[in-house]
Amino acid sequence: MSGYSIINLEATGKKYASVVNTKLVDIEVKHIAAVSKSTQKIYELSEKVGYQWALLGARKEFGIDEAKERVEGMSKSWIERPIKIVLTKDKRIWGDNTHWTMSYVKKYGPRTKLNEVPFYIVDLREKEPVIVNVKGSVKLNDADITATITAAQEINKRLSLGWRPKGIYYTVADLMKEIWD
């Protein structure tokens, strides 16, 4: 894929300061735990735009109990994978690795900010995608970069089709409350 750039966070000045100081629990997510009164609209909008993986675990065909166990196991692991943060054209902040994001909240607490865990940014607000490398977290080859940008652009595409209209948000905190409360 051509038409993208990779820059180091340190070279961006204060451009991403508000993003890196975002609490993990405030990041938007693509998934819901179940269809309920509070998630019905999100589920319906997901179906409307053709997003069939709205339910957490649906892609791997496992339920919430398995997802919960997976997140709890990841939170106890010494391995820490970077979260892909997608900045969409409508200026929203999305986490495109829900399990790892929740595992960091479980491991470090609900006040944990992005700058306290491994992450990188795919910024789709510019004319061409920008990948922001944070502390060496981007170790992707050309095929991985293409897949990463394509997945991020799918979020933008669904948003443009009405997936999450203005005023409809669903965050890591919302998802975790559904799963653990």
Give pLDDT tens digits for 122-172: 999 999 999 999 988 887 678 888 899 999 999 999 999 999 998 999 999
Average pLDDT of every residue of the chain: 92
Give the three-class secondary structure for 5: strand
Instruction: Reply yes or no on whether the pLDDT at 1 is more than 60.
Output: no
Give the three-class secondary structure for 154: helix
Instruction: Reply yes or no on whether the pLDDT at 59 is more than 80.
Output: no
Instruction: Reply yes or no on whether the pLDDT at 63 is more than 90.
Output: no
Q: What is the C-alpha separation between 103 and 31, in angstroms, rounded?
A: 15
56 and 32 in contact (C-beta within 8 Å)? yes
Handedness of CA 54, 56, 59, 62 (dihedral sign): negative
Q: What is the C-alpha separation between 46 and 87, in angstroms, rounded?
A: 19
Q: Which residue has the tokens 């669903």?
A: 170
**pLDDT the model gives residue 139:** 75
Instruction: Reply yes or no on whether the pLDDT at 66 is more than 70.
Output: yes
